[in-house]
Structure 1
Amino acid sequence: MQVNNKSRCHINVCIIPARGGSKRIPRKNIKHFCGKPIIAYAIEAAIASGCFDQVIVSTDDQEIAEVARNFGASTPFIRPDELSDDHCGTLAVINHAINWLAESGKPASYVCTLYGTSPFIKADTLKNALNILTSQAEKIYCFGVCEYPVPIQQAFSISETQKIEMFEPESFGLRTQDLTPAYFDAGQFYWGTAQGFLSEQCMFSDAAIPYILPKYEVHDIDNIDDWVLAEAMYIALNKITLSKTSQE
């Protein structure tokens, strides 16, 4: 059977992994965050960015799929059981979706992995990161990073006997401004070429270009304490934004 050339046009796709079996915060992906399911923020930002031909939520859970569709995402498949346990990595989930699209006659060109628990993500951030990636022909990935709030060179460990030991004793006494800034993965989004993801090339390498995010937009939500703090910050930021808008 011949495949229609038009159906083989490459697309840009957002893939939001959202399994139903979260342990530390039960039903985490659809738990309400400041008034609506937390996954809705990621879906809405992806759609508003205008970057994507399709926004897909990859889930093993029918309730999550229904919520995702209600906010404009598509759920063209239910994720296989072998990709839904605690030990399955995100890359396997993303590559499953990329391969599914290719087999369905919709091969992807650029792919953005976007976590469903990213309520601070902005549409402009996704758009700007894609522009940076496409302007760097030699790069495969672009993802969000954030600077550590304190110098990691002056970090230390505490043993069971309460012994303090610096990781870099030679950095003791040095001024903060004299130390090289260090960054961490913000855990929000990962733009990349479809082939880059499929090749499983390491992201933390010369293959990637960083997109530096402000500290107030980066909040790792792993437990209920993180959740409460993130909601408080989200409300505070919205108040600041509304105040600035009213003054203009």
Structure 2
Amino acid sequence: MNIAIIPARGGSKRLPGKNIKLLADKPLIAWTIEAALESNIFDHVFVSTDSDEIAQVSKEFGAEVPFLRPAEIATDNATTNDVVTHLVEWFEKEHNKEVTTIAILQPTSPLRNAQHIKEAMQLMKDKAAKAVVSVCELEYPIQFCNQLDANGSMNGFIKKSDMKRTQDLEPYYRLNGALYFFSRDYVNKLSELYSEGTYSYVMNSRTSVDIDTEDDFNLATYYIIQINEKLS
């Protein structure tokens, strides 16, 4: 069984209510639910939440919400590992079926679409991978980054060997939070995900927008409007 898990807590300190805040013409979480369903690769698309309101919206857009999170995984300290482990163990016990592949699809990545999901799953098959994780190229060279001491001195901030044109520097990549595919073996072991057998699925910076602030939300809205204008 292949399942998708969309983790969506009700509490959000930086952008309250973001998971059901309207992005263009639908709630933020709906973009991820629809992409997961449209990919047609999952036997079940679950939303894990502690919020009645998020649960209701999620069901309206076609996701399964079999329960609200129990108290022990509904706190600020609960981890994604806790949420995934609880849901997978519940599913296998409830349905007497074994989960083979799990996808974590963060609702804060609305520009990750069904095609990305299908490609990531295909990559997992092609590589015989244990896991596939989405990344994007860093927007600015990491070679131009460093820490500052207390007095703000920039002595040695950039190595002489890195004083090159941006296009002449080797690219670095970062996690973008949009896609995590992994085998059943990693349940309750997500800290071991970045090891042999895990491969990257590279996305561009535009589709990698991760919504955490109002500015992120506005940027995603702008990109979606652009996409819709091209399609119309």
Q: TM-score, normalised by structure 2?
A: 0.92
Report SS of the residue matched to 1:215: coil
Q: Distance in 2 between matches of 1:40 and 1:193?
A: 25
| Change in 2 beyond 3 A, CA 1:165/1:111 | farther
| Change in 2 beyond 3 A, CA 1:77/1:166 | farther
Q: Is the 8 A contact 1:153 1:171 kept in 2?
A: no
Q: CA deviation at 1:196?
A: 2.0
Name the residue aligned to 1:52.
Answer: 42
Q: Distance in 2 between matches of 1:166 and 1:28?
A: 41
Q: Is the 8 A contact 1:154 1:171 kept in 2?
A: no
* Superposition pairs of residues 164-203 of structure 1, within 5 angstroms: 164-166=154-156, 169-200=159-190, 202-203=192-193
Name the residue aligned to 1:111.
Answer: 102
Q: CA deviation at 1:86?
A: 1.4
Q: Distance in 2 between matches of 1:215 and 1:53?
A: 30
Q: 1:20 aligns with which of 2, 10, 21?
A: 10
Q: Comparing 160-169 with 76-85, which one deviates more in the overlay?
A: 160-169
Q: Is the 8 A contact 2:186 2:192 kept in 1?
A: no
Q: Distance in 2 between matches of 1:166 and 1:99?
A: 51
Name the residue aligned to 2:146.
Answer: 156
For 1:107, the aligned partner's letter is E
Q: Distance in 2 between matches of 1:12 and 1:160?
A: 50
| Change in 2 beyond 3 A, CA 1:166/1:62 | farther
* Superposition pairs of residues 169-248 of structure 1, within 5 angstroms: 169-200=159-190, 202-242=192-232
Q: Distance in 2 between matches of 1:163 and 1:89?
A: 37
| Change in 2 beyond 3 A, CA 1:96/1:166 | farther
Name the residue aligned to 1:74.
Answer: 64
Aligned-residue CA RMSD (Å): 1.7
Structure 1 portions without partners, runs of 5+: 1-10, 243-248
Name the residue aligned to 1:5.
Answer: none
- The number of residues matched between the two structures is 231
Structure 2 portions without partners, runs of 5+: none
Q: CA deviation at 1:165?
A: 4.6
| Change in 2 beyond 3 A, CA 1:106/1:228 | same
Report SS of the residue matched to 1:119: coil
Q: Distance in 1 between matches of 2:149 and 2:228?
A: 42
Q: CA deviation at 1:158?
A: 3.4
Q: In terms of Rg, which structure is larger? A: 1
Q: Is the 8 A contact 1:156 1:166 kept in 2?
A: no
Name the residue aligned to 2:114.
Answer: 123
Name the residue aligned to 1:87.
Answer: 77
Runs of 4+ in structure 1 over 4 Å off: 165-168
For 1:120, the aligned partner's letter is L
For 1:68, the aligned partner's letter is S
Q: 1:143 aligns with which of 130, 133, 139?
A: 133
Report SS of the residue matched to 1:13: strand
For 2:118, the aligned partner's letter is K
Instruction: Give deviations 1:120-150, integer Å, cap 9, x for gaps.
Output: 011011011101102222x211021000122
